[in-house]
Structures are given as C-alpha cells and as structure tokens.
C-alpha cells in the first residue's frame, strides 16, 4: 500500500497524485540575494525528523497543501 496524503479538498489520496516541494530554510548569515536564491532552490536540508513540506495535488484539485512529514518513517500530519 502506498503512502496516502490527506488533501483538505479531496480526502486521502495516493502519494503518486502529488508533486513534492520542501520549504527551504536559508541560514540568516547568507545575505547575498543570489546566494540566498541558490540555497532556496538547490540546497535541501533533508533532516532526519519532522519537516514542513509543500505538496501540489497535480492529479486532483491542483492546489497546494502544507504537510508535516517525519522523514524517518514518512508519517504525515497537517
Ligand atoms: Zn486535492
């Protein structure tokens, strides 16, 4: 059974219907705007634990939702 994501508009749906987007956190000591943009786009933190993510329901309502996911076991909460 695949991982299910609870969409507030469509209910529980299989993860294959969504695309993933991590909400990046750029360190405050990086002040150059170009360097901040590079960090924001390419430098994923990939922590071992709970992180906040944005998922797009591509094959459903086509809306964004925010999910808290534990990367160790993929348990999700809203
Ligand atoms: Zn949806």
Give this prediction's pTM. Answer: 0.71
**Which residues have beta carbons under 5 A from ligand 1 (an ion)?**
7, 9-10, 57, 60-61
Give me the number of domains the chain comprises: 1
pLDDT at 6 over 90: yes
Q: Please give the distance, rounded to the nearest whole angstrom, from the Cα atom of residue 66 to the centre of ligand 1.
A: 12
Rounded Cα–Cα distance for residues 55 and 5 (Å): 9
Q: What is the CATH number of the domain that holds 45?
A: 3.30.2270.10
- Determine which helix (DSSP H) or strand (DSSP E) holds 7, and give its type and residue range: strand 4-7
pLDDT at 15 over 90: yes
Confidence of residue 64 (pLDDT cuts 50, 70, 90): very high
Q: Please give the distance, rounded to the nearest whole angstrom, from the Cα atom of residue 10 to the centre of ligand 1.
A: 4
The whole domain housing 59 covers 4-77
Rounded to the nearest 5 degrees, what angle is found at the Cα of 18, between the Cα atoms of 12 and 21?
120
Confidence of residue 43 (pLDDT cuts 50, 70, 90): confident
């Amino acid at each position: 059974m695949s991982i299910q994501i609870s969409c507030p508009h469509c209910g529980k749906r299989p993860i294959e219907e969504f695309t993933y987007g991590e909400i990046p956190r750029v360190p405050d000591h990086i002040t150059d705007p170009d360097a901040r943009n590079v960090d924001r786009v390419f430098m994923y933190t990939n922590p071992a634990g709970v992180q906040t993510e944005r998922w797009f329901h591509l094959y459903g309502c086509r809306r964004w939702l925010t999910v808290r996911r534990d990367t160790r076991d993929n348990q999700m909460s809203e």
